Amino acid sequence: MTATATAAMIRRETGDDGICILSFDRPESGANIFDAATIDSLREHLDAIETDASIRGVIVTSAKKSIFIAGADLQTLLRQAQTGELRAFIAEGKRVFNRLAALKVPTVAAIHGACAGGGYEITLACDYRVASSDPATRIGLPETTLGLLPAWGGATRLPRMIGLEAASKVILKGKLHTADEALKIGLVDEVVAPDQLLDAARRKLAQGKREIPSPPHIETQVK
């Protein structure tokens, strides 16, 4: 029997196989975005996952037709910048993403549709990333095109994954890539047909937790 729980912006379903699926599904909207309510919902689900010994793996996905997560809500960012709450919002997002990355069970992001900014950063907090080959799938960190920088781990996790030079190009250019381009760069681990996305994600879970390379050690000399 599948157990289902909903916390505002995200639905959690755990099957008899112990696989937990977190589906982002913003009510009355065709898009998923990150605002304070979404961060709160993710935190609530992580509270439950961390204490559920029956869960063997987690898949992060979207219930929307053409959008995974379109990043942070710009209106929220503007309002919080004006009220002095932006720093706290960014810090809380980082804490929640770090909790996802620290889960003891393997995690996979199953990406279909637009996956931009904070939407891609949450996938970087997962062990693996599988993308749909659908033309609607576009992946990247476009923050620099808005005069911003990735603030939820993208600037640190991506260099560890694909190297500093490649990551710098992705971040500074701010381009959204097709699934095949993302695979070539190393932004995702696999590209599959849309109807095979969850099956591919389950296969990745079977590989277990992933070892992330440590940041490069830079030696300095004092003369």
pLDDT of residue 86: 86
Domains by residue range for the chain, with CATH: 3-205 (3.90.226.10)
| Marked catalytic residue, from 71, 109, 116, 121 | 121
Whether the model clears a pTM of 0.85, i.e. scores above it, the answer is yes
pLDDT of residue 2: 65
Tell me whether residue 72 is one of the annotated catalytic residues.
yes
| Marked catalytic residue, from 31, 70, 72, 167 | 72
Tell me whether residue 121 is one of the annotated catalytic residues.
yes
Nearest C-alpha neighbor of 56 from the set 105, 10, 100, 8: 105
Query: Which segments of the chain have a pLDDT < 50?
Result: 217-223
Strand order in the sheet with 107-111: 3-7, 10-14, 19-24, 57-62, 107-111, 128-132, 190-192
Residue 174 has a CB neighbour count (10 Å cut-off) of 17
Strand order in the sheet with 67-69: 67-69, 114-116, 138-140, 177-178
pLDDT of residue 13: 97
